[in-house]
Amino acid sequence: MMQRLEEVTRRWQELRDEQASPDVLADRKRLLEVTKKLAEIEPVVEAYQAYKKLVDEERGAREMLAGDSDPEMKGMAEDEVRRLASELAERERTLKLLLLPPDPNDTRNVILEVRAGTGGEEAALFAAELLRMYTRYGEGRRWRVTVTDLSEAGKGGIREAVALVEGNGAYSRLKYESGVHRVQRVPATEAAGRIHTSAATVAVLPEAEEVEVQVDAKDLRIDTFCSSGAGGQSVNTTYSAVRITHLPSNIVVQCQDERSQQQNRLKAMRILKARLYEAAQQEQQDQVAAERRSMVGSGDRSEKIRTYNFPQSRVTDHRIGLTNHRLAEILDGNLDLLLDPLIAQLQAERLERELASTG
């Protein structure tokens, strides 16, 4: 592990030198590439530097323990050695986690899809609340969230929505949201006060890079229509909304949030490429499906991942058995209350498997 950390540190220094060179500073594309690579490995380097500092402190404490005959000073040195040894063990575990191969999609933007499931009007209302939760979460992380397609239902609910989430690390956090979200509460229309159960589905797709998904124009059917929704000069008056059908896969996407047909076409193509990229990835992942199920479940969208219980203000994540009683805060965008412990446990399980596989 230490050899690998030294290699990462050397690579970090090389990238820093390259970033400061006049040639790179004059080449905006290369500068962005170098800066991105630096940002990816900098947490590892910083953690390693902090670890080495602790190693030096522990060595000094052990030397003091061995060379001091005063009982009081010896006791203090023993306490310091125990403290530093414990902290070093924790730092070493953190370093091992940081050295695990990252998900190559973690730095990508996200195509987020929310759909009402079973439960009729109540499911549509819950789907709208989930969309708001993700929007607020994105705002808190300074991501840009743009709803590109929206099918509304009555009383403020939505049948389905597609949003583009742009920002650093968007996929690394939101990828855990794919699946069925179940809600338990008393609908406003329920006179007897009985708790109803309904659901909404969430799909999180990494946005594809231009070079990864090539789409032939002859494979597309592009239709235009009048956009619908609240307000705006172009609503119901101009053919600005765009629907694209990918004929080989029969995947259909549409976008109507922009006034310009060209802008809607560009966004629709981004969504289409993300879906094609996901389909290609899924084909590869099916080959190792059994292994993935042993790690974090099947990942199938029909799998219930979370339950939101309103009467008890409780949210339960079924993947790790986590229960949190801050439902209102979570729905208002504080999704890290669930994601932080979920990610920590999944990473810990992954580390244990890595250590077991390496003997």
**CA dist., res. 97 & res. 142, Å (int):** 26
Strand extents, DSSP E, 38-143: 110-116
Mean per-residue pLDDT, 205-233? 75
Looking at residue 342, its pLDDT comes to 93
Task: Give the model's pLDDT for residue 112.
Answer: 94
| Average pLDDT score over residue span 213-237 | 71
pLDDT at 353: 76
Q: What is the residue type of 187?
A: P
What pLDDT was estimated at residue 355?
66
The answer, yes or no, to whether residue 319 has pLDDT greater than 70, is: yes
The residue that leads in pLDDT, 269 or 300, is 269
CA distance 147 to 127: 14
| pLDDT, tens digit (0-9, with 9 covering 90-100), for 74-96 | 788 888 888 888 888 888 888 88
What number is the average pLDDT over the span 263-287? 81
Instruction: Check residues 234 and 132 and name the one with the higher pLDDT.
Output: 132
pLDDT at residue 284 in the model? 59
d(CA 243, CA 260): 14
Q: What is the pLDDT of residue 286?
A: 63
Per-residue model confidence as pLDDT tens digits over 24-42:
899 888 888 888 888 878 8
What is the pTM assigned to this prediction? Answer: 0.68
Going by C-alpha positions, the residue among 141, 142, 157, 144 that lies closest to residue 112 is 144
pLDDT of residue 228: 67
- Of 160, 98, 84, 153, give the one whose Cα is nearest residue 122: 153
313/325 Cα distance (integer angstroms): 5
pLDDT for the residue numbered 298: 38
Beta pairing partners, 317: 306, 322
Instruction: Please tell me the distance from the alpha carbon of residue 354 to that of residue 97, in angstroms, as a whole number.
Output: 10
| Contacts of 317 by beta carbon, 8 Å cutoff, 6+ apart | 305, 306, 323, 338, 342
Report, as an integer, the average pLDDT of 322-348.
Answer: 94
Mean per-residue pLDDT, 191-196: 77
* Ramachandran quadrant class, 51 (left: phi over 0; alpha: psi -120 to 50; beta: rest): alpha
Identify the three-state secondary structure at position 80: helix
Q: DSSP letter at 119?
A: S
Which class for 322: exposed (0-12), middle (13-18), buried (19 or more C-beta within 10 A)? Answer: middle
Residue found under tokens 């597309």: 220
pLDDT band for position 164 (50/70/90)?
Answer: very high
Residue 230 has φ and ψ, to the nearest 5°, of: -90, 125
Mean local confidence (pLDDT), 338-359: 80
SS3 of residue 151 by DSSP: strand
For the chain, what is the mean pLDDT?
A: 84
pLDDT at 318: 94
pLDDT of residue 64: 80
Handedness of CA 265, 170, 108, 36 (dihedral sign): positive
pLDDT band at 231 (very low <50, low <70, confident <90, very high): very low
Q: Give the amino acid at 100.
A: L
Residue type, position 167, single letter = G
pLDDT digits (tens, 9 = 90+) for 42-79: 888 998 899 899 888 888 888 887 776 777 777 888 88
Q: pLDDT tens digit string along 83-132? A: 888 888 888 888 887 777 778 888 889 999 999 998 889 999 999 999 99
Residue 174 has pLDDT above 60, yes or no: yes
Contacts from 14-22 at CB under 8 Å and sequence distance 24+?
A: 15/41
φ, ψ (nearest 5 deg) of residue 27: -110, 100
Q: How many CA atoms lie within 13 A of 4 on its CB side?
A: 10
Strands 179-185, 304-309: parallel, antiparallel or unpaired by DSSP?
parallel
**Residue 289's pLDDT band (boundaries 50, 70, 90)?**
very low
Comparing 139 with 7, which gets the higher pLDDT? Answer: 139
Predicted confidence at residue 4, as pLDDT, reads: 80
